[in-house]
Amino acid sequence: MRSAISATLPRNPHFDDSRVVWSDAFSGMYEPVAYDEQFDDQWRLFLERKTGFCDHTGVETSDEYIDDRIAELTGVKDVLYRRKWGPLASTVARLSGRTARQERRGVGGRLWLEPKFSLQFFEGKRCLDAGCGAGRWTKTLKSLGGNMKSIDVSSHGIESTRRFHDDVSKCSIFDIPSRSELHRAFDFTLCWGVVMCTHDPRAAFSAVASTVKEGGALYLMVYAPTYHTSPQVLEWRARYHRECRTFEERLQFAYSIADRPENAINLLDMLNTFYNWTIPLDVCTEWFRAEGFKDVVLLNRNEPHACGLHMLGTKS
């Protein structure tokens, strides 16, 4: 495990310039950081099954959690479970305590997506999970028949996602422009929680958008200027980055502010990254339009207290 956190960091827009809400006028103004390191300890601790880094909506890849992800995307519950148990599914669910575990599986929140994808939507489609992390969305789309490719810069993320299929590569989204095999190659690209953690979300979006074929769709999740611009989050992030000198100290800090230890990864996701931009809806909508997408929808417009934007567009 790395211990000392590098002291020589580039200018931080949030702490040095009081900029938390992204504007495209900032494009090109900030420097990349070691993206391959930022999440790597999280995914390593996930693989080690450390409390707070697994059994959580935001990361877990076991079938019970993937059934939750499938239900969020499609509205259809217990797909994998019913595939496994067939007509015995409801009896086994009752006897095994699956139903009772439902509440614990809610740690980290639920999605409010509308419209839902049909159960058949991903079948046979060439799909890219850009910034796949430990692979929860890769496994979800694959379970629904998607022909997956997954990329990430974290070695442990790659190791985790390789448990589900072979077409997994270590690749930064900023390197997509030089990877011609990724251009216009996908019917569906999902980029969840990645572009806002970079020095240039606009450039990151453009790279990810270039992977979508004509007629294909792009699903983007970024933070909205709500919870993540709150004084509480900004104070936590400042303490995490300025006062905690080692990864161990940072981990302790995350546990200390978590409502329960099982929720540590939720906090680390927002504390850990050097960049934690929030993106206004109109800026995001304009990104889609400028990259040739139409029918752009905010899928979680009905979500109360939404801290993220879930956007879908189709490339024309």
> Quick check: 109 and 59 in contact, CB under 8 A?
no
Nearest to 194 by CA among 279, 306, 122, 113: 279
d(CA 209, CA 203): 10
Residue count of the chain: 316
Which of 154/206 has CB closer to ligand SAM?
154
- Closer residue to ligand SAM in complex, CB, 89/167: 167
C-beta of 93 vs 160, nearer to ligand SAM: 160
As measured in angstroms, the least distance from the Cβ of 158 to ligand SAM is: 9
Q: What is the DSSP letter of 21?
A: B
C-alpha span between 110 and 57 (Å, rounded): 8
Min CB(293)–ligand SAM separation in Å? 20
The CB-of-187 to ligand SAM minimum distance in angstroms stands at 18
Q: Shortest distance, CB of residue 42 to ligand SAM, whole angstroms? A: 8
The residue among 78 and 152 lying less far from ligand SAM, judged by its C-beta, is 152
**CA-based max dimension of the chain:** 60
Best CA proximity match to 308, nearest among 14, 78, 123, 72: 72
By the 10 Å C-beta count (0-12 exposed, 13-18 middle, 19+ buried), 128 is classed as buried
- Angle formed at CA 189 by CA 217 and CA 133, multiple of 5 degrees: 150
Give 148's DSSP letter. E
Could you tell me the smallest distance in angstroms from the CB atom of residue 167 to ligand SAM? 16
Tokens of 92: 């086994």
Q: Give the residue nearest to ligand SAM (CB).
A: 133
How many other C-beta atoms can be found within 10 angstroms of the C-beta atom of residue 132?
29
Pick the closest to residue 274 from 15, 60, 74 (CA basis).
15
**Residue (65 or 93) nearer to ligand SAM, CB:** 65
Select 93 or 111, whichever has its Cβ closest to ligand SAM. Answer: 111
DSSP code of residue 212: E
Binding site for ligand SAM (CB under 6 A): 35, 39, 131-133, 136-137, 152-154, 157, 172-174, 192-194, 197-198, 269
Alpha helices in 126-200 (DSSP H): 136-143, 155-161
Pick the closer one to ligand SAM by CB: 198 or 210.
Answer: 198
CB of 94 to ligand SAM, least distance (A): 30
CB 249 to ligand SAM: min, Å: 21
We find the least distance from the C-beta atom of residue 88 to ligand SAM, in angstroms, to be: 31
- Cβ-based nearer residue to ligand SAM, 93 or 219: 219
